[in-house]
Amino acid sequence: MSPVLRTALAALIGATLSLPAMAADGNDSHGRKKGDPNEVVCEKQEVLGSRLAAKRVCKTRSEWAEQRRIDRALVDRSQTGSCQRNAGC
């Protein structure tokens, strides 16, 4: 088996094993309902300018949803709006 194939297979197996088991009754492993807006969820985010550094950011599900909405609106505005000289953009 080639080293590239072995590495790809190991990554696939690792990703599969790291996925949480889904509960059949709609609750997670802690007994909370899935999608609870007050549940705190943490994400690892890469630090810009570094290949290795990462920081852990924790917010509630509702805060993450609001952040995604704000980010999407900013992208939409920058893609659809035209910036003209002396227009204050």
pLDDT in tens, 39-56: 999 999 999 998 889 999
- Assign 16 a pLDDT band (cuts: 50, 70, 90): low
Q: What are the φ and ψ backbone dihedral angles of 54, each rounded to 5 degrees?
A: -145, 150
- Assign 35 a pLDDT band (cuts: 50, 70, 90): confident
Residue 27: pLDDT above 80? Answer: no
Contacts 24+ apart (CB under 8 A), 34-43: 35/61, 36/61, 37/61, 37/62, 37/65, 38/62
Any idea where the domains of the chain sit in the sequence?
A: 36-80
Residue 86: pLDDT above 60? Answer: yes
Tell me, what DSSP letter sits at residue 84?
-
- From CA 28, how far away is CA 53, in angstroms rounded? 30
- Assign 21 a pLDDT band (cuts: 50, 70, 90): very low
